[in-house]
Amino acid sequence: MIVPKSNRHALLALLGFVALCGAWLLTIDPGEHFTTDVAELLPADERDPEARLALSLVRERQGRVVLVALDAPAGTPTAALSTAARAHTDTLLASHAFVAAHPLADQSWQHALGALLHKRRFDLLLPGWLEQQRKAYVAEATNEPFPTWLAARATADLDAHLASPTGAATSDLVASDPLLLLVTLSGQTAPLAPAPGTSPDRVLIWAETRDGPLTEAGQQPVFDALAAAATAARAHVPDLTARFTGVARFAAAAKASTLGDITRLNTLALACVLFITVLFLRRLHALLHLLPVVFIATLGAAAVTTLIFPRVHVLVFVLGSLLSGVAVDYTFQLVLARRENEPYAVRLRRLAIPLLGGAGTTFAGFLALTVSELPLVRQLGVYVAAGIVVGLVATLLYFSLFPRLDLAPRRLTLRPSLPSRLRTPLLLALTALAIFGLTRLRWHDDLRSLEYPSPALRAEDAALHASFGQADTGATLITRGSTYAEARTRWQHLADSVPAGGPVTSIASLLPSPDVYAAATAPASREQLAAFISAFRAATAAAGFEPDAFDHFHRDFTAYLSAPSPTYETLLRDTLDALPGPLALLAHSDADGVWFLSTVPRAIDVPAAAEGTLSLSGIEGLNHLFARYRAATSRLSLAGILALVVISCFLHGPRLGLRTAALPLLATGLAFGVLALRGEAFGLFHLLGALLGVCLADDYAHFAHVDDPAHPQGRTAIRLSGLTTAASFAVLMTSAIPAVSALGATVALIVVLALVFVETDLFSLHPHA
Amino acid sequence: MKVFRIFALLFVLALPAIAEPYAAELTAPWRTRIAALSKPKALSGTFTERRHTPLKKQPVVVTGTVRIDRGRGLSLSYDQRHAPIVILDERGLLLRHADGREQTAPPEAENDLRLLHALFAFDLATLEKSYALAATDSPDGTWTLVFTRRPDSPATYRELILAGDATRLTAITLAKTPNLKTAIALAPPQLDPAFTADELAHYFR
């Protein structure tokens, strides 16, 4: 067979494009380029500080925490369970997937905190104590020198403490801490790590993974290590049950479920498209010609999207599965509109305006989304816009290779047409219904609608957190600053301004504020403290203390006074870096600044005076962001619709152009109205569905212009396009991801309504009208 | 058959040892005395506590009122201003401050507190696991029960001593070391006082 030269160029162009796109996609690392992380649906440079901090919490050490509960059968000897727990933690640490693993019962990190505070007690705790004593000294207005007064007061406080009920329990500590700097802290440090409930048959393990939960290394290797650890533990207690929870588990489950959804939806959509096509076409083997076009459109869309975005969310591909429905539209319009003995070039010229009009408006609509600040919307915009262009060009080039291809449409003579006199009243009635429905429209923006629901995992997660003493009541606050000094100062404003009854628990309470630290380390203060130490020795001797009772304290205090004080930033950085176990998660510093976590026992509104403090209420707390993204997407969608109207008017003139644009707009308005009247709450993905629906419905309006009654295959093309698209999106309605389901319902309804409008020629778009 | 009889005899002889804690140390009169001591459902009385610490030449002396309710535990209210009420019961130790704050003991103190609760509740079975017992009667009618920590016990109190006379418990000593100990002298208590609902709520949990 001799292939014409122009066809050779088309073939080469198609093969070259496939080769280029294929080569590019084969070179990229799926683990690096694709993500299932809900957090990555938000911009990395999100300007909302709460969102930025919430995301950093997941990405930083907080997200790497894994909580494990080992449950033994009732009556298991304590020693056996302890050995099993030790085997579990040893296996985790030996796996390299974990950097820390502590059975909570051993309290080793609490002791480590105590040792840390004791070692640095003069740097951390003396400044606050000194500040309090100074205030008391000023209030007393005595003529006694401050060091002597302070020594007498410290001795009296010490005597009172030893006579208190807790005095007997702290004798060992008091020898090195007669100023009671640490003793008075016990009430503050205990709530920092909530006490787990005790059960003789259960061991709770707190562990930290080496890699983040959203990376490959932070998932499967972690699960493997946990499985190996459970096996090691069962060597000592055979019927041991091991449960665990962590962000990694949710992330892995979401990834597996989403990938399963992609496969299922795409397969089902393709099956629906083929089934409907079989109903309309007789030459079934010719349907194989659909596959290359869909394949090239999808390949091109994926290549362009991954070329532009370094990381693409897999949800884009779930939503992008609609391309299989859209890409075949052009095939149907182009191939079914074939007329006997009409050259391919002439057919192209005849269909140029509807093809360009349909594809152009869809392209423009989705192109508008590419300026969205939401990565998912941007990526979806690029994916669909690229897919539309590639799909159209691929269709034109591919079918130039088969100019005589005949899909043999079945003859369907049904051509319903609404009497002209009914069109205007019906239009008015439908418009009124749409407007009425739109007045009932209710927005509900929920970031969780993007997640694959996993109620069993959530229930287990809640149960495990409860076992660890982590109640879901109360509020978590985060106080940030550019430096340690700023963050600590802001935290003080928070602590001073929370309502009564809402004590703030934070590691920051153990750290001196910058001004208090500066006062305590000033040369004048140091001189007074040097004088105090002699006076204290005399005062304690006079009060009946043994001469050598506080040798340890005197030695340490003298060393403290003779060494230079660290700078405030150095002190806090070194202290917080050395925090052990779960306490290390209560503060964080990086190039962007510093933050402290705080908790209050009940939900509060952050006081206005607490600048730099935000309330974190989990992922749900970011819903306001979603509302902002939706509002921004609304504006972009309106811009896209305006472009659609302008393109229609440009192609068809103002009257026909406006009628053409009115069809998709009424279909969309009516679909929204119907869904609103059904009580459906709308979100961002209904809006994206509406934009897509407008573009698709606009395609059919354009194709209606060339629907010649003398050539009924044109109507068949519209019907086939509409029904295959509606089926593709109806398939999306079955997705377990609420956002995908919402988008599917919206588009399917719009397309069905648009098809009805075209069939009844409600807008008088057909040539015979 | 003979072998069976020997085993049966051994079993019968061993039965008291299985059933009764400190079977070898406590004779029947001692058990009667302890039963009498633990008989009152409640009691209330004053006490004087001497805390010996290596830090001070003289012990620190404090006074207060002890209340015991067999179902609710032990409560100590000290005479010092602002001193919290100390409540020791099956759930552990609780300090109830005058401003309403409540403070529990750290988890590592749980074992000691369980043993102290056992001492005040005359729960000899619990004490026996951690302490050996020496019971002494004096000719003047006074007696002492000295509980000495067993070598493998995790208890931090090396010695617990109960002392009394013919009718009542007169002193309790809790010793960690020879010079770190608390000696509590008990005045004659009021037996089975009727605690009001307010008192129960205030002094117990």
Give the residue on B whose Cα is nearest the Cα of A189: B106
Distance, in angstroms, between A183 CA and closest chain B CA? Answer: 13
**B62 contact residues in A (CB cutoff 8 A):** 163
Tell me the percentage of chain A whose pLDDT exceeds 70: 85
Can you give the pLDDT at residue B2? 47
Q: pLDDT for A403-454, tens place per residue? A: 888 877 777 666 667 777 888 889 899 999 999 988 888 887 776 666 666 7
Can you give the pLDDT at residue B1? 45
> What mean pLDDT comes out for the span B65-80?
89
> What global pTM score does this model have?
0.60
Q: Please state which of the ranges A205-209, A313-317, A593-597, B103-107 shows the lowest mean pLDDT.
A: B103-107
Q: Do B182 and A159 touch (CB under 8 A)?
A: no
Can you give the pLDDT at residue B15? 43
Distance, in angstroms, between B135 CA and closest chain A CA? Answer: 27
DSSP code for B47: E
Can you give the pLDDT at residue A165? 81
Give the residue on A whose Cα is nearest the Cα of B75: A165
The residue with greater pLDDT, A19 or A494, is A19
**A165 contact residues in B (CB cutoff 8 A):** 76, 78, 83-84, 86, 95
**B91 contact residues in A (CB cutoff 8 A):** none
Tell me the percentage of chain B whose pLDDT exceeds 90: 35
Tell me the percentage of chain A whose pLDDT exceeds 90: 29
The residue with greater pLDDT, A421 or B32, is B32
**B107 contact residues in A (CB cutoff 8 A):** 105, 107, 195, 198
- Report the run of H or E that residue A223 belongs to, with start and end: helix A220-234
Can you give the pLDDT at residue A51? 62
> What mean pLDDT comes out for the span A156-177?
86
Q: Please state which of the ranges A278-282, A621-625, A756-760 shows the lowest mean pLDDT.
A: A621-625
C-alpha A163/C-alpha A184 separation (Å) is 15
Can you give the pLDDT at residue A192? 55
Give the residue on A whose Cα is nearest the Cα of B48: A163
pLDDT at A52 over 70: no
> What mean pLDDT comes out for the span B22-48?
88
Q: Do A190 and B106 touch (CB under 8 A)?
A: yes
pLDDT at B105 over 60: yes
Q: Do B107 and A105 touch (CB under 8 A)?
A: yes
pLDDT at A769 over 50: no
The residue to which tokens 């920051």 are assigned: A508
**B109 contact residues in A (CB cutoff 8 A):** 169
pLDDT at A766 over 80: no
Secondary structure (H, E, C), A24-49: HHHHCCHHHHEECCHHHHCCCCCCCH
pLDDT at A28 over 70: yes
Distance, in angstroms, between B39 CA and closest chain A CA? Answer: 28
Nearest Cα neighbor of B56 from A158, A554, A184 is A158
Q: Do B107 and A171 touch (CB under 8 A)?
A: no
Q: pLDDT for A557-597, tens place per residue? A: 999 999 999 999 999 999 988 887 777 778 888 777 888 88
| DSSP 3-state of A246 | strand
Q: Do B107 and A107 touch (CB under 8 A)?
A: yes
Can you give the pLDDT at residue A449? 67
**A168 contact residues in B (CB cutoff 8 A):** 51, 53, 182
Q: What is the band of A657 on the pLDDT scale with cuts at 50, 70, 90?
A: confident
Can you give the pLDDT at residue B3? 45
Type of residue numbered B147: F
**A167 contact residues in B (CB cutoff 8 A):** 51, 60
Provide the H-helix boundaries in chain B. Answer: 2-19, 28-37, 110-120, 124-130, 197-203
Highest mean pLDDT among A284-288, A583-587, A625-629, B171-175: B171-175
pLDDT at A542 over 60: yes
Instruction: Report how far apart, in Å, the C-alpha atoms of A408 and of each of A56, A290, A341, A527, B110 are.
Output: 58, 14, 15, 102, 86
pLDDT at A394 over 90: yes
The residue with greater pLDDT, A688 or A540, is A540
Can you give the pLDDT at residue B14? 44
The residue with greater pLDDT, A362 or A6, is A362
Q: What is the band of A602 on the pLDDT scale with cuts at 50, 70, 90?
A: low
Distance, in angstroms, between B27 CA and closest chain A CA? Answer: 32
Distance, in angstroms, between A690 CA and closest chain B CA? Answer: 58
Distance, in angstroms, between A166 CA and closest chain B CA? Answer: 9
* Beta strand A312-313 pairing with A34-35: parallel
pLDDT at A393 over 80: yes
Q: Do B53 and A165 touch (CB under 8 A)?
A: no
Q: Which residues of A touch B (CB under 8 A)?
A: 105, 107, 110, 159-160, 162-169, 171, 174-175, 186-187, 190, 195, 198, 544-546, 549-550
Q: Please state which of the ranges A190-199, A692-701, B119-128 shows the lowest mean pLDDT.
A: A190-199
Q: Do B56 and A195 touch (CB under 8 A)?
A: no
Distance, in angstroms, between B193 CA and closest chain A CA? Answer: 25
Instruction: Report how far apart, in Å, the C-alpha atoms of A676 and of each of A31, A33, A271, A448 are.
Output: 40, 38, 31, 21
Angle between helices A684-704 and A623-652 (to 10 degrees): 10
- For Cα atoms A257, A261, A265, give the angle at the middle one, nearest 5 degrees: 175
Q: Which of B52, B53, B113 to probe by mutation at the A interface, max A CB count within 10 Å?
A: B53
pLDDT at B47 over 70: yes
> What mean pLDDT comes out for the span A326-345?
82
Q: What is the band of B95 on the pLDDT scale with cuts at 50, 70, 90?
A: confident
Q: What is the band of A670 on the pLDDT scale with cuts at 50, 70, 90?
A: very high
Of A107, A110, A546, the CB nearest to B55: A546
**A162 contact residues in B (CB cutoff 8 A):** 51, 53, 55-56, 60
Can you give the pLDDT at residue A109? 66
Helix, strand, coil abundance in chain A, percent, nearest 5: 65, 10, 25
Q: Do B56 and A545 touch (CB under 8 A)?
A: yes
Q: Which residues contact A484 (CB under 8 A, 6 or more apart)?
A: A568, A569, A572, A573, A589, A594
Q: pLDDT for B124-171, tens place per residue? A: 989 999 999 999 999 888 999 999 999 988 888 999 999 998 778 899
> What mean pLDDT comes out for the span A496-511?
78
> What mean pLDDT comes out for the span B71-95?
86
Q: pLDDT for A449-486, tens place per residue? A: 666 667 777 788 778 777 776 655 567 788 888 899 99
Of A105, A166, A550, the CB nearest to B95: A166
Can you give the pLDDT at residue A55? 62
pLDDT at A323 over 60: yes
Q: Please state which of the ranges A61-70, A301-310, A677-686, B176-185 shows the lowest mean pLDDT.
A: A61-70
Q: Do A165 and B180 touch (CB under 8 A)?
A: no
